[in-house]
Amino acid sequence: MKLSCCNKFLLLLLLLCSAAFGALNDKSAIVYYGKNISYPMVGIHNYIIVQPSLTDTNTHGFRVYKDKMYAYVSIGEIDKDIPEYKKIKQAWIVGKNKAWDSVVLDVTNPAYKAFLFNDVIAPQIKRGFKNFFFDTLDSYQLVAKTDKQRAESEAALVDIIKTFHKRYPTSKLIINRGFKIIDSVHNDINAVLFESYYHGVNGEKLGYKDVTSKDREWLDTYINKIHHYKLDIICVDYLKLKDLTSKEATNTIVKIRAKGMIPYIATKDLKVYGQSSKNPIKREILTLIDESVHERRFLAAHQSGALPLEYEGYIQKLYDIHKHKLPTMEQMQQYGGVIVWFSKTYKHPAEFINWVLKLQKYNIKVVFAANLPLPLNNLLSKLSIKVNTTAIDLTHSSKIITKSAMIGYEIKPSLTQSENFINITKGKSLLTLKSQNGVTNTYAAIMPWGGFALRNGFMQEFGDDNLWVINPFKFFIKALRLKKIIVPDVTTQYGKRIFISHIDGDGSMNRVEWDPKLFSIDVIYNKILKKYPLPVSASIVGAEDDDNGLYPKLAPTLQKTIKAMYKLPNVEPASHTFSHPFFWEKIHNGNLAPKYRLAPKGYHFSLENEIKGMIDLINVKYLTKEKEPRAKTIFWSGDCAPPENILAYVYKLHLLNFNGGDTYITNRHPWLLYIAPLGLGRGEYYQIYTGAQDENVYTNDWRGPFWGFKKVVQTFKLTEAPRRLKVIDIYFHYYSGSKRASLTALDYVFNWAMKQDINPMFTSLYIPKVMDYYTLSLAQGKNSYFVAGVKNLKTLRLDNSKMYVDMNNSKNILGFKDDKSHKYIHIGNRSEALVKLSKNMHNTNAYLVSTNAAILKSEKEEDGFSMELSSYLPIRLELNIPKNCRYQFTNMAPTITKKGDIISFSYKYKTKVGFNVKCKP
């Protein structure tokens, strides 16, 4: 039946509305065959198809999204350049696919089937993959000449699929096409993928082509059949890189969705992150650095640049320009922007400028930070920068003629001119100075291609410190044209600031100055751990405490205290290694010279002994069978700088890692420079930093004053306001129990923490939240956000928004708390959530406002919800309970206050509480 013009218009309107408003609820898919998967780019999708040989299954991202990931397996043919090809028997090869330079295999051969399961699928199951994508099912059609041969091949394919389903009944399976066998296998698969519905690839030359309507009609026959079986259909179309964000791509997605299919639009090699029904916010910011100057942990780009990005919800990805070429445009598709932060002049300036300009075609902006690593010549005119050649008198101060509100954040700009000076021919100046002889110099500007902040307009030395001239929280967002997004927040849980505490195992055997019979660990056990109910993660050093350590005569006494300490419900075990390596980068070929570690007699150094061996020793020797949690965290020792290969080893063992970073901001040095980022990335792994430094730093390397750790309270206050940038982390050593002054300081800090509005937890629960931050995937719709990968991270922060959280229509959201200019939004127990926002507050459901407890269990029903809570402190709880709702507690709180619909419940002693709320329509 023909559609009238009016009907066509209505159809188009419906399609556009569906694209704009329905996308976050729609299923989406991605097929990515590249290396180093960006989990923020793939995590939102329901189907994530990858090349298993290029996928590191030990990363946090893989473990978080494992249930949605599918390992590619070619069934009907094999490429000559993959390792498994060497095992292919000549008898299995029945033809060639010239277009892809691969060989076609005999799927009817029992020996090949055994190879497929034993040598291809089983190893990936062992590596951690659970789900699979079977490709090239139709390759038999390249060689089959008769109906009988085709029927035999199809029967063999059915047998392979059913065998897979029988062997791995909990695994999910996607097949590529296989239209001829769909009637036989529809109960054994979860989805069907096919390529080229509107835009495809030429079979011989592999060029891009448009699909004919005749070919689509043929496909529609099978699509309708697959719809009948209620299977998901993933439709992959191909466009050139420059067209992936075009109207053509958008229209294609809309049309595919209108057919009831899941769209995916990508380039033909499937090595870029393409477009689907819902698409992620590009949270990663590529930061170009030069590690020939300093190792990355010492670079200002990391120490000062990561924090403001993280606070705004973005991720700094460091890229060493000294070792690597400039990334290709294909590689750049995962990044929301680029920061150039190195001092050396780039060796190929024309190439660099052209690279910056190419990025503009893909709407990727670039910021030059601190320096302009390009020669000051006419090349800069391509960036709308004009170099001044007029000499100026550098002995006289200049005056400011343009100054943005961003300027003067921590310190006012110096009025001393630099020798090299520039102006802009386009863009908006943020700071321009004018010399006495009338020459102007622009130090910071927003440009069409991004922006820059240099010298006087960026950071400025103040004594030994380096202070921000420009507001980094605003500048990077503005210059890179980044979205103000809902922020994954690791500092807060259920509306309360997170509290953690951890002990590095050093000095357990130190004698106590007022009683030489006591060891410092005895004092910490009795005067801190038993006194305060707050959770503490306590590590030990094997070389100090073990029978085979440095002090075998003291070991029995020390071990008695350690075992008693680990029996406390508020103490969890952790490892500070066996021999306490001082410099991790000094480990070569698995060995570390004794001068770089503690050296007990007869000890043989190895990573296994230091890390896995020490964890096993703690869990077997020092813990009761009932003790939970078990030791699973390593607190880095010495310089706290593990290289990538050692991080990889820790991740392979499924252990957590902590320490490093230098957060010790105080009233004397109240600058952002003294607040570290959340962690440091090396390859696909992250070292997670502490929330504050230990007492060794506050006591001048334990030289005094020994009461100096009291100053850490200043750190906690300065990382709370004006922005909450860090958790409260009381980080110390056992040797703090050896002196009266240090013990008094520690007691003071714990006593202060007890009075704060906190949500206390073990360090082993905080670390995975930060790991989630780096892999969390976020998509934005109209007044809504979809978030995936929130396995451990349970707070989203909405800043300066006049919008309200729509609890009636949000999913997996327990509630929210208004806190000054923020809204802290609480995520439920599932790893995905949908946040709906509204201009009006019209929630009719009850919800959680805040609590200092952990939520052991939560159930949400149509007419209300229930929770079971547990805390190390007497429980405090705020609920928003409308008038149409009623509540019931297992133990009613002695103190109840009400303000509007918000009811506060405060207990004096109870650390476990359950309740339910029921609401009438």
Read off the pLDDT of each residue in 14-30 and give the average, rounded to a whole number. Answer: 65
Q: Is the pLDDT of residue 243 over 90?
A: yes
Write a three-state SS string for 795-854: EEEEECCCCEECCCCCECEEEEEEECCEEEEEECCCCEEEEEEECCCCCCCCEEEEECCE
Query: Same structural domain for residues 473 and 599?
Result: no
Q: What integer pLDDT is reported at residue 11 of this predicted model? A: 41
Predicted confidence at residue 15, as pLDDT, reads 44
- Tell me, what's the pLDDT at 9? 41
Mean pLDDT of 74-78: 94
Between CA 385 and CA 447 the distance in angstroms is 9
Cα 262 to Cα 30: distance, rounded to the nearest angstrom = 10
856 found inside a domain: no
Tokens coding 514: 């007022």
With a cut of 80, say whether residue 79 has pLDDT above it: yes
Whether 802 shows a pLDDT value over 90: the answer reads: no
Residue 17's pLDDT is 42
pLDDT digits (tens, 9 = 90+) for 629-676: 999 999 999 999 999 999 999 999 999 999 999 999 999 999 999 999
pLDDT at 389 over 80: no
Assess if residue 95 is contained within a domain: yes
Q: Which of 436, 469, 485 is the last residue of a domain?
A: 485
Instruction: Give residue 3's pLDDT.
Output: 33
8 Å CB contact between 810 and 844: no
CA atoms within 13 A on the CB side of 397: 6
What pLDDT is recorded for position 101?
Answer: 81
For the ranges 74-83, 589-598, 815-824, the one whose mean pLDDT is highest: 589-598
Only one residue has tokens 């409260």, namely 728
Quote the pLDDT of residue 12. 46
Give pLDDT tens digits for 867-876.
Answer: 999 999 999 9
Q: Residue 394: what pLDDT? A: 63
Q: What is the pLDDT of residue 723?
A: 96
Same domain, residue pair 517 and 374: no
- pLDDT score of 5: 37
Percent of the chain with pLDDT over 90: 88
> Given this model, what pLDDT does residue 416 score?
83
Helices 5-21, 247-258: inter-axial angle, 10-degree rounding: 100
Per-residue model confidence as pLDDT tens digits over 124-171: 999 999 999 999 999 999 999 999 999 999 999 999 999 999 999 999
Q: Does residue 453 fall inside a structural domain?
A: yes
Specify the pLDDT at position 427. Answer: 97
- 774 occurs within a structural domain: no
pLDDT range class, residue 757, cuts 50, 70, 90: very high
d(CA 446, CA 430): 7
Q: Model pTM?
A: 0.95
Question: Do 201 and 268 reside in the same domain of the chain?
Answer: yes
Is 554 a residue whose pLDDT tops 60?
A: yes
CATH of the domain at 520: 3.20.20.370
Per-chain mean pLDDT for the chain? 94
Beta bridge partners of 867: 858, 915
Q: What is the pLDDT of residues 419-446, one digit of tens each?
A: 667 999 999 999 999 988 888 999 999 9
CATH code, 428: 3.40.50
Answer yes or no: do 356 and 477 share one domain.
yes
Same domain assignment for residues 83 and 156: yes
How far is the C-alpha of 338 from the C-alpha of 364, rounded, in Å? 7
Tell me what percent of the residues of the chain surpass a pLDDT of 70: 97
- Residue 800: which pLDDT band, with cuts at 50, 70 and 90? confident
Q: Is the distance from CB of 530 to CB of 750 less than 8 angstroms?
A: no
Domain boundary among 734, 768, 802: 768
End-of-domain residue from the set 219, 242, 276: 276
CA 644 vs. chain centroid, Å, equals 17
Count the residues in the chain: 921
Q: Confirm if 728 and 756 have CB atoms less than 8 A apart.
A: yes
Please choose, from the candidates 748, 793, 789, the residue with its C-alpha nearest in 3D space to the C-alpha of residue 59: 789
DSSP 527: I
Residue 106, in any domain of the structure: yes
Residue 20 above 50 pLDDT? Answer: no
Residue 527 pLDDT: 98
CATH of the domain at 195: 3.20.20.70
Per the domain annotation, does 538 fall within a domain? yes
The span from the CA of 425 to the CA of 432, in Å, is: 13
Mean pLDDT, rounded, for 810-833: 94
Cα-Cα-Cα-Cα torsion 646, 649, 653, 658, nearest 10 degrees, comes to 20
Q: Which pLDDT score, from 0 to 100, does residue 23 have?
A: 76
Number of structural domains the chain divides into: 3
Provide mean pLDDT across the span 554-558: 97
Q: Return the closest-CA partner of residue 639 out of 584, 594, 677, 690.
A: 584
Rounded mean pLDDT of 185-208?
Answer: 91
Q: Taking 90 as the threshold, does the pLDDT of residue 34 lie above it?
A: yes
Q: Which domain holds residue 735?
A: 488-768
Cα 235–chain centre separation: 29
Q: What is the pLDDT of residues 80-99, one digit of tens each?
A: 888 888 889 999 999 998 87
Pairing of strands 173-176, 191-195: parallel
**Are both 402 and 449 inside the same structural domain?**
yes
Gap between the Cα atoms of 308 and 314, Å rounded = 9
Confidence at residue 611, expressed as pLDDT on a 0 to 100 scale: 97
Is the residue at 781 inside a domain? no
Range scoring the smallest mean pLDDT among 338-342, 383-387, 414-418: 414-418
Res. 618 pLDDT band, cuts 50 70 90: very high
Contact residues for 327 (Cβ-Cβ < 8 A; gap 6+): 286, 319
| Residues 6+ positions from 896 with CB-CB distance below 8 Å | 903, 904, 905, 906
Q: 249 and 309: one domain?
A: no
Residues near 118 by Cβ (< 8 Å), separated by ≥ 6? none
Same domain, 30 and 166: yes
**Residue 385: pLDDT band by 50, 70, 90 thresholds?**
very high
- Looking at the structure, tell me whether residues 262 and 292 fall in a common domain: no
Nearest to 212 by CA among 202, 222, 204: 202
Candidates 397, 413, 429; CA nearest to 469 is: 413
Clarify whether residues 494 and 477 are in a common domain: no
Q: Which structure tokens are listed for 842? A: 């019209």
At 779, which helix (H) or strand (E)?
Answer: strand 777-781
Confidence band, pLDDT 50/70/90 cuts, at residue 393: low
Q: State yes or no: pLDDT of 411 exceeds 70.
A: yes
Residue position matching structure tokens 């200019």:
821
pLDDT (tens digit, 9 = 90+) per residue, 263-314? 999 999 999 999 999 999 999 999 999 999 999 999 999 999 999 999 999 9
Beta bridge partners of 686: 681
Q: How far is CA 295 from the centre of its chain?
A: 22
**Residue 392 predicted with pLDDT over 70:** no
Instruction: Note the pLDDT tens digit of each residue in 107-117.
Output: 999 999 999 99
Q: What is the mean pLDDT of residues 833-842?
A: 89
Alpha-carbon span 401 to 380, nearest angstrom: 23
Residues 538 and 583 grouped into a single domain? yes
What pLDDT was estimated at residue 419? Answer: 65
CA atoms within 13 A on the CB side of 894: 6
Based on the fold, state whether residues 652 and 751 are members of the same structural domain: yes
pLDDT at 820: 80
Residue at 147 is within a domain = yes
Ordered DSSP codes for 669-721: S-SGGGS--SEEEETTEEEEPPSS--HHHHTTTTTS-TTGGGGHHHHHHHTTS
**Average pLDDT of the residues in 382-410:** 87
DSSP state, 456?
Answer: G
- Amino acid 395: pLDDT: 64
